[in-house]
Structure 1
Amino acid sequence: SIQWLSRNRKIMDGQPDLIVIDEAHHALAETYRELWKRYPEARKLGMTATPCRLSRKGFTDLFDTLITSWSIAEFIGRGWLSSFDYVSIRANSSEQRLIDSLKKRGADGDYQVKEMNAVLNREIGIRQLYESVRRYAAGKKGIVYAVSIAHARQIAAYYSLHGVESVAIDSKTPALERGRLVEDFRRGKISVLVNVDIFSEGFDCPDVEFVQLARPTLSLAKYLQQVGRGLRKSDNKESCVLIDNVGLHRIFGLPVRDRDWEAMFEGRMAGNAQPRTRMENNGLSVSCSLSEDSKRNEGLEIVMTHARLLDAVRNGDLICLGGGGPVGEEQWTVLKAFHDRQSGLWGLRCGNKITVIPQYREVFDICANRAAVRFKDGRTGVVDESGVPMVVTGCCRRLRFLKGELLSVTKEDGSDCYT
């Protein structure tokens, strides 16, 4: 390991011709830089699923070239990774509002652990986490990512109390005990491992059937590394369930989203949450009562099913995120609506790629990467290019985008209001 090498480099004999670095997104650390100084003639090969940094610091001062493999979608389509079901908290839920209230940042630029723990380590929140597992992953084997050691231990205790054999593993867990618990998990004696950044990278247990995200993050690498623990193939696993209790797909997209790795590798783009415009319903009067709307927005929603995902992968109908534009900018393909004559419904398309299969009764208007639509149930709202609701306005007659980030809403009675 890099730690052993930094301690014992004086006893190393000879000069290596090739140095292979796993999880190479950590190679910016000073311990790795010593390799470049000590072995300047050796070739270096860095391997990582996430060549990006939250700090927007690139890798070009260490590596000459980025060689990309298949995307996650291609690996799923070719049968090397597991398909997944994705469920998440709703855009206007109380849980999402709690996460949106987090303001403080740690030294690494991510959310501050102390604030996350104060806001999210509460009995009501832990009960909601348990209910999510009970509803969508009952009897399955999984990994939970918590915000703090205290949070992880509370989750494990609550799950165990309710019949789901769970243990918390953190940096304070003795090595021998950690090894024993992990082995019990592999053998099925333990159903759930709850951890804090322990099993984000390098942990390999292919029969993990669900991953629960209970830790908000602004780091794309952390998000993809965590969900990746559930995407390994296993003989007895048809698919994996990704339970997003902190709404990460809303800022990162689904794991199969196209990403501009070259821009992140070169430092032109940070490996963080994509810019988004969260459109809030600021007291907007709609035909649905607030009590009805709040009930509808609580709980989890199914964002993607494994069957629908496999169909999209096989048909090439995946989210299109461009790149290669001016330095530091993202280049979006123009978003357009298209009509499916067979179903009579509307979908969304970026260039030649379908980003949302036909599922809307009407598409009123499109502005940049947002569309104003009428859903199947008659409600209206604004969705992003991947179909994720940004705001739901209720049952209205018409929506229209105006200049200055304004949305014009024509209500059922014909009156207009704006948000």
Structure 2
Amino acid sequence: MLLRPRQKVFVERSLAALRQHGNTLGVAPTGAGKTIMLSGVAGQWLGDTQAKACVLAHRDELTRQNEAKFRRVNPALTTSVFDAREKSWAGQTTFAMVQTLGREANLRDMPALDLLVVDEAHHAAAPIYRRIIDRVRERNPEVAIFGVTATPNRGDRKGLRPVFSNVADQITLAELIQSGHLVPPRTFVVDVGTQNELSQVKRTADDFDMTAVEAIMNKAPITEAVIRHWREKASGRPTVVFCSTVSHARSVAEAFTAAGIGAELIHGDLTPEARQAALARFETGESQVVVNVAVLTEGWDHPPTSCVVLLRPSSFKSTLIQMIGRGLRTVDPNEYPGVNKSDCIVLDFGTSTLLHGSLEQDVNLDGHEGSGEAPRKECPECGALVPVACRECSLCGHVWERSESEGRVDLTDFVMSEIDLLKRSSFRWCDLFGDDAALMATGFEAWAGVFFLSGQWYGVGGGKGLTTRLLAAGERTVCLAAADDWLNEHESEDTARKSRTWLNQPASAAQLRYLPPAYRQDFGLTRYQASCLLAFQFNKREIQSRIFAVAERKEAA
């Protein structure tokens, strides 16, 4: 298995920081592949030594998932699991569940470790994590400690500096959106007559006073306005709504239902069975909206979700990022046939996006998120204060003109993101027919391609012993990212290196024998280009069947 180019950079920077400081934190949003990257760091740190590592996670399912992905990245390293079902330190790398390992009896039996990896490392300030980390350091004062997280700034303002003295690398949301691994958010700040009142709500130790927020937002005219704006901007989209209190969420869910829109209510007092049943109805499409209170902020993903409604302000940018992140996942067309997703609509009725300005975090290991308020400018049309980076007023639509220098940079943003992806890929992408409508890349075990048909791009992948699969449908960058990931998943560094040597070799006689006669006169045709053409020729029928099936569903819809 290959890491993406950006993942390789993350691993290299993390290893360098570990060697320099003995500890480091890596920051990467959902969708960056944190488990793959932590596996790369741990695998290279251990190498062919007899050193011992432990990877901590806070849920059983994460422990097992981490182990499975680690073994794909590091097939030569042995692993074991320490959780409620199994308690083994036999492997060179042990995957441990925090709540199990944190018990005193289990800590007594823990061997000396050379590397401790903390997944979801924003939890590292919690007492049970500190107990484990302190015991690990007692056993081996020279232990290296590596953490990964999407949200390093904790809501309780506890800093991570007692564990991590530095940040090795931070992958931004913008990078993942530009590379096609997340969809872009389209944010609308909607004032339903409550912005002034919301701006007066006091902050508590943890967040804004949600009882005060409910008193402002939980009114029938307000909720009716919310549904009206939702119909105008996001009707038909699977939607997650974040409310202030259970009472507020219940009123909103009932209002959606009364308006003929199927809605589910999720809150912390539901039984696990009731919660799972409600989410199942939403995820199967029986309901279109799921309304929740502080339950779906973290650890829940339903990729077809393409609208996020914020009916509460957020004191912390990390919470805002988690909420909006529920709608930024791309869609696997095999898992969700017929679902096309190119963006996520964010309807902010609670002013969080005005308060924080962007979805990028300034990491502060001392536990403070800064002033909590982004620099602003005044809109000349409506007088609204908006973040200085905004080009369009979210309230009235006024557009600020770009300077000549700014225009030169931004005009090529989308094109450059595609060029970067193609150049940084471990594989060469070939324009099959010179019209930029069909690109393919091959390795020794797999092939992948992106194709344009009837106004839409499609990513398709296959290979030796692999079923041909539709990987993505929609924006070209998303399809390229999915196709490149397919090759990374099924090839290795060794096969990628060997395939690159074909770029300087002429097409072989055997390849030319199977290609149309016109190619036999192309003396500049390389062995790699011929391989891509043959992969397309031999798999053309399967490629067309996958694409036409989606196109037909699209036309029928």
Output the TM-score relative to the length of structure 2: 0.47
Is it true that 1:346 corresponds to 2:401 in the alignment?
Answer: yes
Task: Look up the equivalent residue of 2:205 and give its one-letter code.
Answer: A
When structure 1 is superposed on structure 2, of 179-188 and 200-209 the one drifting more is 179-188
Other-structure match for 1:62 = 163
Q: Does 1:14 align with 2:110?
A: yes
Q: CA deviation at 1:26?
A: 2.9
Of 365, 381, 386, the match for 1:265: 365
In the alignment, is residue 49 of structure 1 matched against residue 150 of structure 2?
yes
Native 8 Å contact 2:264 2:282 kept in 1: no
1:375-400 deviation line (CA, Å, top 9, x unaligned): xxxxxxxxxxxxxxxxxxxxxxxxxx
Q: Is the 8 A contact 1:96 1:246 kept in 2?
A: yes
* Structure 1 position 33, deviation (Å): 1.3
Query: What is the DSSP-based 3-state SS (H/G/I as helix, E as strand, rest coil) of the residue aligned with 2:170?
Result: coil
Superposed, 1:295-334 pairs within 5 Å as 319=389
Gaps of 5+ in 2: 1-57, 59-96, 334-339, 391-399, 413-557
Q: What does residue range 381-396 of structure 1 map to in structure 2 within 5 Å?
A: none
Alignment of 1:107 with 2:208, yes or no, is no
Partner Cα separation in structure 2 for residue 226 and residue 353 of structure 1: 33
| Worse overlay, 139-148 or 179-188 | 179-188
User: Corresponding residue for 1:79?
Assistant: 180
> How many pairs does the alignment contain?
294
Contact 1:348 1:356 in 2 (8 A): no
Aligned CA distance change for structure 1 residues 191 and 58 (closer, same or farther; 3 Å): same
Of Structure 1 and Structure 2, the greater strand share is in 1
Q: Which amino acid aligns with 1:81?
A: L
Alignment of 1:48-197 (within 5 A): 48-54=149-155, 57-90=158-191, 94-102=193-201, 104-108=202-206, 110-197=207-294
Q: Are 1:19 and 1:43, in contact at CA under 8 Å, matched by a contact in 2?
A: yes
| d(CA) in 2 for partners of 1:158, 1:17 | 56
SS in 1 for 2:402: strand
**Considering only aligned residues, what root-mean-square deviation do their CA atoms show, in Å?**
3.5
1:221 to 2:325 alignment: no
Q: Secondary structure at the match of 1:183?
A: helix
Matches of 1:3 and 1:145, distance apart in 2:
29
How much does 1:222 deviate?
0.4
Match of 1:254 in 2: 358
Deviation at 1:184, TM superposition (A): 2.3
Identity percentage over the alignment?
Answer: 27
The alpha-carbon deviation at position 98 of structure 1 amounts to 2.0
- Report the secondary structure of 1:178's partner residue: helix
In the TM superposition, what is the alpha-carbon distance from 1:82 to its structure 2 partner? 0.7
Q: Please tell me the residue identity of whatever aligns with 1:156.
A: A
Separation in 2, partners of 1:158, 1:248: 23
Cα distance per residue 1:274-323 (max 9 Å; x no partner): 25579799xxxxxx9xxxx8xx99xxxxx99xxxxxxxxxxxxx949xxx
Q: Secondary structure at the match of 1:237?
A: coil
Q: CA deviation at 1:158?
A: 0.7
TM-fit CA distance, 1:252: 1.0
CA distance in 1, matches of 2:405, 2:323: 28
Please tell me whether the aligned partners of residues 319 and 353 of structure 1 are also in contact (alpha carbons under 8 angstroms).
no
Report the 3-state secondary structure (helix = DSSP H, G, I; strand = E; otherwise coil) of the residue aligned with 2:195: helix
The answer for the alignment partner of 1:31 in structure 2 is 128
CA displacement, residues 217-242 of structure 1 (integer Å, 9 cap, x when unaligned): 11111011110111111142121111
Is structure 2 residue 339 aligned with structure 1 residue 242? Answer: no
Cα drift, residue 9 of structure 1: 4.7
Could you tell me how far 1:187 is from its partner in structure 2? 1.8
**Cα displacement string for residues 361-414 of structure 1 (whole angstroms, at most 9, x for unaligned residues):** xxxxxxxxxxxxxxxxxxxxxxxxxxxxxxxxxxxxxxxxxxxxxxxxxxxxxx
CA distance in 2, matches of 1:87, 1:280: 15
| Correspondence for 1:207 | 304
Contact 1:52 1:271 (8 Å CA) reproduced: no
Is 1:217–1:223's contact at 8 Å kept on the other side of the alignment?
Answer: yes
Larger helix percent: 2
Query: What amino acid does structure 1 have at the position aligned with 2:149?
Result: T
Report deviation, 1:179. Answer: 1.5
Aligned CA distance change for structure 1 residues 350 and 18 (closer, same or farther; 3 Å): farther
CA–CA separation in structure 2 for the residues paired with 1:33 and 1:352: 49
Paired residues of 1:153 and 1:167 also in contact (CA < 8 A):
no
Task: Kindly provide the amino acid, as one letter, of the partner of residue 271 in structure 2.
Answer: P
Distance in 1, matches of 2:299 and 2:281, equals 18
CA contact (8 A) 1:348 1:354 kept: no
Moved more, 47-56 or 161-170: 47-56
Q: What letter is aligned with 1:75?
A: L
Verify the 8 A CA contact 1:143 1:210 in the aligned structure 2: yes
Query: Unaligned regions of 5+ residues in structure 1, if any?
Result: 282-287, 298-302, 305-317, 321-344, 358-419
**1:143-201 deviation line (CA, Å, top 9, x unaligned):** 11000111111111111111111111111010111122222222222211111111111
Cα 1:55–1:171 change in 2 (3 A) is closer
SS at match of 1:347: coil
Taking a change above 3 Å as real, the CA distance of residues 65 and 97 of structure 1, as seen in their structure-2 partners, is same
Greater RCO (Cα-Cα under 8 Å, separation 6 or more): 1
